[in-house]
Amino acid sequence: MKPLALSGRAIAVNAREGAPNHQVLRLVTPADPRVRGPQDAVLVKGGGSVPTGPPSGLVVQVGGEATLAEPGTICLGDEFDYLAAGDVIAVHADSRRVRTLYRRASRHNSFLTTERCNHYCLMCSQPPKNIDDRWLLDEIAAALPLVDPATRSFGLTGGEPLLQWERLVALLAQARDVLPNTAVHVLTNGRAFASPEIADAWAAIAHPDLSAGIPIYAAVDSIHDYVVQAEGAFDETVLGVLRLKERRQRVEIRVVLHSITAPRIVETATWLARNLPFVDHVALMGLENTGFAIANDALLWIDPIEYRASLARAVDILDAARVPTSIYNLPYCVLERPVWPFAAQSISDWKNAYLPQCDQCAAKRSCAGFFSTGRPKQSRAIEPLRTFDLTQA
């Protein structure tokens, strides 16, 4: 189980004189008939021959020997072999640092907007850093015009994207204009929306398919605030959800399940069904054991089998209140049969994996599987299912 390398170091970057140190590039095939702009680089796999004189003069070579010394050539190792035409990468020439920003074939593209955050969640998979990374938004702005307009959706994550809300709003307006058919899902703690000014600005974008994914870890302020390590967070987050819904914006509530939140999942679902039944989606999510979750393993780990029954009740409570509900990140074998139809293949493709015994399982093709990131930890209940029929769930 190993995730895809979405970032790494180039073997060699032979920059041309005068070229900017940081570049965002779209990869195209040598045979691509489309007009190529200055952001397009020809992708060459293995020892394939390099076409002479691409208009931009840029070549990205993956694998093979790094023998190409022509200026304008970037040589990547085999870990980037997944790259394909239409993908977008970012390259820092000085440090040779390369990051894949967008994969055209993936349903799980997301852009990191910042590593700064006003939360410090016990299980954060992307531990926040207090650094100046405002260039990340510039990079996304440069990448958006290179994204295939047929892309169904992409995510914006952090950190807390709304910390720079004015710039984020501008970016979303840009997405609305250049990718009008692409849904955008922003993962935010929602606290910024407690300010009517920010909620108004968000609604005024009038993006055709924009939603905010907002975590509520418990319906008790002290528990939620403890999980996110920020006093007053619960109150602002709930206010933020209300402000967005008052403005008819789409909101998803995300509940990550670990040993602090899972024991109250029935109460949390009951509270959501009573108080926020108008949200557009609730995701009840298995824990990704990476980042701070590893550091806090002793505090957070709970075998999903322990909360299997209460998770099923929670789903039933939300479903009966007509709240669209999904279970994320948990394989069928740890879920009660009646809630199988709610389980989604939610784990991003680049970090989604299956165990050796999954090859014997009848449900593998539609199962969420596992995270390959961090230090994966498995339930004792994992076992191949002999038969699998969702209609009989």
Q: Nearer Cβ to other proteins, position 226 or 354?
A: 226
Q: Of the two residues 169 and 321, which places its CB atom closer to other proteins in the complex?
A: 321
CB of 298 to other proteins, least distance (A): 10
How near is the Cβ of 254 to other proteins at its closest, in Å?
18
Instruction: Provide Rg for the chain, Cα atoms.
Output: 22
Give whole-number Cα distances, 274 to 241, 270, 364, in Å. 14, 6, 35
In whole angstroms, the minimum distance from the beta carbon of 209 to other proteins comes to 19
Q: How far apart are CA 262 and CA 126, in angstroms?
A: 21
Strand-strand pairing, 370-371 and 352-353? antiparallel
Exposed, middle or buried by CB within 10 Å (0-12, 13-18, 19+), for 305? middle
Of 310 and 373, CB closest to other proteins: 310
How far apart, in whole angstroms, are the C-alpha atoms of residue 258 and residue 329?
12
Strand-pair category, 22-28 with 40-45 = parallel
Per CB under 8 A, residues contacting other proteins are 120, 122, 194, 219-223, 225-226, 229, 231, 234-236, 238-239, 242, 245-248, 264, 267, 270-271, 273-275, 277-278, 295-296, 313, 316-317, 320-322
Instruction: Kindly tell me which of 111 and 193 has the beta carbon lying closer to other proteins.
Output: 193
Residue 72 or 128: the one with the smaller Cβ distance to other proteins is: 128
Q: How far apart are CA 152 and CA 322, in angstroms?
A: 26
**What's the closest the beta carbon of residue 391 comes to other proteins, in angstroms?**
16
Distance of closest approach, residue 216 Cβ to other proteins, in angstroms: 11
| 22 or 247: CB nearest other proteins | 247
Q: Which residue number, 78 or 200, has a Cβ lying nearer to other proteins?
A: 200
* Cis bond upstream, residue 240 (ω within 30): no
User: What minimum distance in Å lies between the beta carbon of 339 and other proteins?
Assistant: 12
CB of 277 to other proteins, least distance (A): 7
Cα(171)–Cα(201) distance, integer angstroms: 12
Residue of 145, 24, 167 lying closest to 90 (CA atoms) = 24
The Cα–Cα gap between 236 and 195 comes to 9
* Cβ contact 198:192 at 8 Å: yes
Q: Which helix (H) or strand (E) holds 84?
A: none
